Structure 1
Amino acid sequence: MKFLVVSDIHGSADYTKKALEAYALHKPDQILLLGDILYHGPRNPLPQGYNPQEVVALLNPLADKIIAVRGNCDAEVDQMLLNFDILRDCATLFLGGRRITATHGHLFPLDPPPHSFPGDIYLFGHIHIPVIRQENGITLLNPGSITLPKENSPHTYALLDEHGFTIMTIDHDVYQSLTF
């Protein structure tokens, strides 16, 4: 099983199209959206290509391929437009004998990550910065933000499979990777 992992789209149709280019290129089995899908939020600048209705039109045809979690900028009104569930705070997945807790990252502290045990993977978004690190036997992974990266990081998405986690730039170059 291979996942395309995308976080913090924030209503940008331009960067949603970039994510879908990655989907066509890498041919994952599923898309994992780590929240903040349609709204840019009051603390963020208006992203390039901001058009939440177009984001809906781009993502809804892939609803059967999408697993999503709720971000701090996602709301019930957004769910009314989307054909896939975005209102759960976290999702538990199993991949290659590993338990993965996927969440946006705004509700739970990272030290220690909740719902995680040594050997598990804690996958989160929210901070808009790519992360690959291990703490207390738990692997912490963040794909960064495809739309609004912070701290001089590039626009990124990630690929996750039983062999590892690879953070890619929107030009499809490897930025960081971890082999399991």
Structure 2
Amino acid sequence: MEVKILMKLMFASDIHGSAYYCEKMLEAYEKEKAERLVLLGDILYHGPRNDLPCQYDPKRVIKMLNALKNEIYAVRGNCEAEVDQMVLDFPVMADYCLLLEGSAAVYATHGHIYNENHLPPLKENDALIHGHTHVFKAEYRPGSEQNPGYFLLNPGSVALPKENNIPTYGILDKGIFMIKGFDGERAAEIKLRRTE
């Protein structure tokens, strides 16, 4: 089975109100020529456990993202609140976004509810992509009696990476998921295809 997404998608997570990194993310989006930007939550607020990110300016982030409102799919992170939806011109309060092509699914969520320890409904060779941990990941998880085999993807954090990682985003194009840094570094890559 192969995941075939017809569009080139960019995935980004955990901007946390950083105007500096939001601008870098949007520059990468334009450079990548992706057709949609999928935001995996924690867009405006830095959160009580995080330090203030570089150029913390949620109002500027709002303005930059609202300009692309018709190109953004977004899910709710643990830092989103109803007030965020009041200022953003695209939906941000859904717990997940399901991208389908044929019988394959890419389940996009923030990661604070559904993650590798609490899986959403997945079939064999589907993909779960989430942020939340601020640590990038691209791997295949073999199935067990309780769960099917699936792809576990995390684009890392745009503004507040952890574990000495660089700020990163993900690109899904022609069945390949790549994690990249803003200076063109390739941090990880995986082909979303399993042959039995």
TM-score by length of 1: 0.96
Question: Aligned partners of 1:13 and 1:59: how far apart in 2?
Answer: 10
Matched residue of 2:69: which SS? helix
Pairs aligned (count): 180
Give the Cα–Cα distance (whole angstroms) in 1 for the partners of residues 102 and 35 of structure 2: 14
Quote the residue 2:137 is aligned against: 131
Paired residues for 1:100-179 under 5 Å: 100-111=106-117, 113-135=119-141, 136=143, 137-179=149-191
Deviates more, 1:130-139 or 1:73-82: 130-139
Say which of 7, 12, 19 aligns to 1:6: 12
Structure 1 residue 96: deviation in Å?
Answer: 6.9
- Aligned CA RMSD, in angstroms, stands at 1.2
- Contact kept, 8 Å, 2:19 with 2:57, in 1: the verdict is yes
Matches within 5 A, 1:29-108: 29-95=35-101, 98-108=104-114
State the structure with more CA Rg: 2
- State the Cα distance separating 1:108 from its structure 2 match: 2.1
- What residue ranges of structure 2 are gaps of 5+ in the alignment? 1-6, 144-148
Q: Which residue of structure 1 aligns with residue 146 of structure 2?
A: none
1:54 aligned partner, one-letter code = R
Distance 1:122 1:5 in 2: 12
Closer/same/farther in 2, CA of residues 45 and 161 from structure 1, 3 Å limit: same
Moved over 4 A (4+): none
8 Å Cα contact 1:124-1:141 kept in structure 2:
yes
CA distance in 2, matches of 1:10, 1:82: 14
Offset from partner CA, 1:32-88 (integer Å, 9 cap, x none): 000000000000000001000000000001010000000000110000000000000
- Runs of at least 5 residues in structure 1 that lack an aligned partner in the other structure: none
Instruction: Give 3-state SS (helix, strand or coil) of 2:67's partner.
Output: helix
What's the TM-score, normalizing by structure 2? 0.89
What is the aligned-residue identity percentage? 46
Using the TM superposition, give the Cα deviation of residue 97 of structure 1 relative to its aligned residue in structure 2, in angstroms: 5.2
